[in-house]
């Protein structure tokens, strides 16, 4: 099985060098593709200096993040695609560990791992949580969307995720209407219709937290609206066996408003916090989802499902 690492970039050549190095220096051979969204800096000269170590695709005009991902995948010949933005980077054994798990789960179409959040200097700030037991486990297709809906199975950002190229192509790629605002999560939920998922309890990816990140250009209200849209899409895909346990979609929307209200509070936007809280604070179900998503549901889901499908 062959991996293609698709690195999207736009005017960040200094960061791109680190991302490319992390792909070229993987412990197993892989194809490396740089998809450039018409950068005006030295990106083209740098990538061309690498010769045949990378495949370079450049847009003639700026088309946005989602379209650049799609263009990169179109250049790929690998069986699996490993996504990577230019400001993030991979552990050298990332692809080797993913390949090991995928070989044990032939129905898998998507794979995610733990990521470290780092600052601009590479200093670790935090890590995404481990899930369940063991170093790797699978989740059957019928259970994925229920887990995503209640945030028990967070696939994460592009640096954490790889997927089957065939499954990606069946979904028609990333949606430019969501450009850099949940375009990745929207893709994961559609890819997950075609097979099982794998989660690795290993830190194999590094995501840079900094002011230049793409999603920082969106307001909280815009992110909330998109979050609701994504939840509605996931809700429609939840397997029938979970339907009787699902909260109403209106209660999930109120839970999301509650969640983002606390994001506003964390950012000290008290007026917006109070306005959003007023829309959700009196919903008992919204609070129940808020608390049980963090605690009780996570424990139940992991004990009933994850233990059963530990790969190693």
Residue 99 pLDDT: 98
- Residues 6, 21: Cα–Cα separation, whole Å: 13
Is residue 66 within 8 Å of 183, Cβ to Cβ? yes
pLDDT in tens, 39-87: 999 999 999 999 999 999 999 999 999 999 999 999 999 999 999 999 9
- Residues 128, 209: Cα–Cα separation, whole Å: 13
What is residue 178's DSSP assignment? G
29 class by beta-carbon count within 10 Å (0-12 exposed, 13-18 middle, 19+ buried):
exposed
Is residue 2 within 8 Å of 78, Cβ to Cβ? yes
Residue 218 pLDDT: 76
- H helical segments located in 150-295: 165-170, 183-191, 220-237, 249-266, 270-280, 284-294
**Model pTM?**
0.90
Q: Which residues of 231-248 are buried (b: 16+ CB within 10 A; e: fewer)?
A: bebbbeebeeeeeeeebe
Which pLDDT band holds residue 140 (cuts at 50, 70, 90)? very high
Is residue 170 within 8 Å of 84, Cβ to Cβ? no
Residue 294 pLDDT: 62
Largest Cα–Cα distance in the chain? 61
Distances (CA, A) of 276 to 27, 201, 247, 250, 272: 48, 35, 20, 15, 6
- Residues 28, 239: Cα–Cα separation, whole Å: 37
Percent of the chain with pLDDT over 70: 93
pLDDT in tens, 246-294: 889 999 998 899 888 888 888 888 888 888 877 776 788 888 877 776 6
pLDDT in tens, 203-256: 999 999 877 666 667 788 888 999 999 999 999 999 999 999 888 999 999 889
- Residues 170, 247: Cα–Cα separation, whole Å: 30
Residue where the block lists tokens 């992110």: 223
Which pLDDT band holds residue 196 (cuts at 50, 70, 90)? very high
Determine the straight-line distance between the first and last CA of the chain, rounded to whole angstroms: 20
Q: Which pair of tokens denotes residue 106?
A: 């032939």
Is residue 69 within 8 Å of 8, Cβ to Cβ? yes
Average model confidence (pLDDT) across the chain: 91
- Residues 82, 161: Cα–Cα separation, whole Å: 6
Is residue 223 within 8 Å of 178, Cβ to Cβ? no
DSSP per position, 122-143: S-EEEEPPP-SSSSEEEE-HHH
């Amino acid at each position: 099985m062959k991996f293609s690492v698709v690195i999207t970039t736009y005017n960040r050549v200094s960061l791109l060098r680190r991302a490319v190095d992390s792909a070229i220096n993987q412990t197993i051979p892989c194809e490396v593709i740089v998809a450039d969204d018409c950068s005006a800096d030295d990106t083209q000269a740098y990538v061309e200096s690498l010769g045949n170590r990378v495949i370079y695709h450049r847009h003639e005009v700026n088309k946005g993040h989602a379209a650049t991902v799609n263009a990169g995948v179109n250049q790929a010949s690998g069986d699996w695609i490993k996504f990577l933005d230019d400001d993030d980077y991979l552990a050298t054994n990332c692809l080797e560990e993913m390949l090991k798990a995928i070989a044990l789960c032939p129905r898998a179409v998507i794979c995610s791992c733990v990521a470290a959040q780092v600052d601009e200097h590479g200093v670790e700030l935090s890590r995404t949580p481990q899930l369940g037991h063991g170093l790797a486990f699978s989740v059957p297709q019928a259970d994925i969307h229920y887990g995503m809906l209640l945030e028990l199975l967070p696939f994460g950002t592009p640096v954490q995720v790889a997927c089957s190229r065939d499954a990606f192509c069946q979904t028609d790629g990333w949606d430019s209407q969501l450009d850099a605002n949940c375009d990745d999560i929207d893709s994961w939920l559609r890819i997950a219709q075609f097979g099982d998922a794998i989660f690795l309890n290993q830190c194999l990816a590094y995501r840079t937290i900094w002011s230049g990140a793409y999603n920082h250009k969106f307001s909280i209200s815009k992110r909330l609206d998109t979050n609701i849209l994504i939840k509605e899409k996931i809700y429609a895909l939840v397997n029938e066996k979970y339907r009787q346990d699902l909260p109403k979609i209106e209660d999930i929307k109120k839970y999301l408003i509650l969640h983002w209200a606390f994001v506003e509070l964390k950012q000290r936007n008290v007026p917006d916090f109070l306005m959003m809280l007023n829309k959700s604070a009196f919903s008992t179900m919204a609070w129940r989802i808020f608390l049980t998503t963090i605690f009780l549901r996570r424990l139940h889901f992991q004990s009933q499902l994850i233990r059963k499908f530990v790969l190693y």
